[in-house]
Amino acid sequence: MSAYAGRHAELYDLFYADKPYGDEASFVHRCIQELSPLHVSRLLELACGTGQHSFGFEKLGYQVVATDYSNDMLEQAKRKAAVLASGVDFRFSDMRDLRLAGEVFDCAVCLFDSIGYVETNEALINVLNGVYRHLRPGGLFIFEFWHAAAMLVHFEPVRVRRWEFEGSKILRISETTLNIERQLARVNYSIYEFRPDGCYVFLQEVQKNRYFLIQEVAFMLESANFKPIRWFSGFCWDAPICEDSWHILAVAQKVSCKSRQTKQS
C-alpha cells in the first residue's frame, strides 16, 4: 500500500479543506433517520481516512468505529481525535477483508468514492460480504462511488491546484488516464512543496479508482444480499441523476439470506 502515505497523508486535510464534511455527515444522518428501519447507535465507517466524516457522525450522536488501511491516515485521525477529545475508535482494517472480532453495527458507511479503490468485482463482493457480516439484519450500508456516466463525459486529463501552508507554496498536478475496459481512472499526483528557505520537496503518488454504473452496483448488491433502497446524485435529496452526477450515494439494506430464498422460491 503506497497511496495515502507519508507527507500525502499529512497534507490530505489541506487538499480537502473545502469539502463540506459536516454537511455530508448530516445528509447521511438524514438518510438514516428517514430510511433505516433500525434505531442506529453503533456506526461502522470504512476507509475513514483522517476521520473528517467520523467526527461529524460522532457529533450527531453516533458511537463510531472508523477503519482504514493507511496507518498514516489513521495517525492523522488519531492526532485530531486527541485534540478534540473525541471518542471515535479508529482501527486499522482492509475493507476487502473486514474482521472486527464478531462486532455488529446498526449501519455502515464508506464515503468519498473510497469503495472504488478495491477495483475488481471480486474485491467488491468481498467488501459487501464483510459489511454484511458486521451489520444487524435490516441495517443500512450507505456508500458513495464515482459515477461512470460523468467520468466518461467530463473527465479532465490534467488538473492543477495550488495552496499555501505554513509558509510553503504547494502545487499539485493530477494527470488522469482511463482504462475503459476495467473502468479505472489512474491518477498520477505530482506534488511540489516550495519551502520558504528556497528548497522544494517533490512527492509522487499513483492512485487507481473504479467508476461504476448504477445498475452494475445494484446487481452486485443484490448478489451479496443487499436491497438497493435509494440512489442520490451527490449529497442532494431531490436532484435527478444524470451525466453531470459525479458522485452517487447509494443506500442499501441488508436482507437476510432466508427472506431472499423464500421470496425466490
CA angle 142, 46, 22 (to 5 degrees): 65
Per the structure block, which three cell numbers stand in for 36? 433505516
Minimum CB–partner distance for residue 261 and ligand SAM (Å): 30
| Contact code string over 18-47 relative to ligand SAM, x by CB under 6 A | -----------------------------x
What burial letters (b/e) apply to 95-120, b meaning 16+ CB within 10 Å?
bbebeeeeeebbbbbbbbbbbbbbbe
Among 64, 107, 111, 135, indicate the residue that binds ligand SAM (CB under 6 A). Answer: 111
Q: Which residue's CB atom is positioned nearest to ligand SAM? A: 49
Backbone phi and psi for residue 241, each to the nearest 5 degrees, phi listed first: -85, 130
Of residues 187 and 255, the one with the C-beta less far from ligand SAM: 187
Spatial contact of 43 and 154, defined as CB atoms under 8 Å apart: no
Among 76, 86, 114, 126, indicate the residue that binds ligand SAM (CB under 6 A). Answer: 114
Does the protein bind ligand SAM through residue 210 (CB under 6 A)? no
30 Cβ contact list (under 8 Å, min separation 6): 237
Q: Which stretch binds ligand SAM (CB under 6 A): 56-64, 109-117, 213-221, 255-263?
A: 109-117
Positions touching ligand SAM (CB under 6 A) are 4, 16, 47-49, 52-53, 68-70, 73, 94-96, 111-112, 114, 117-118
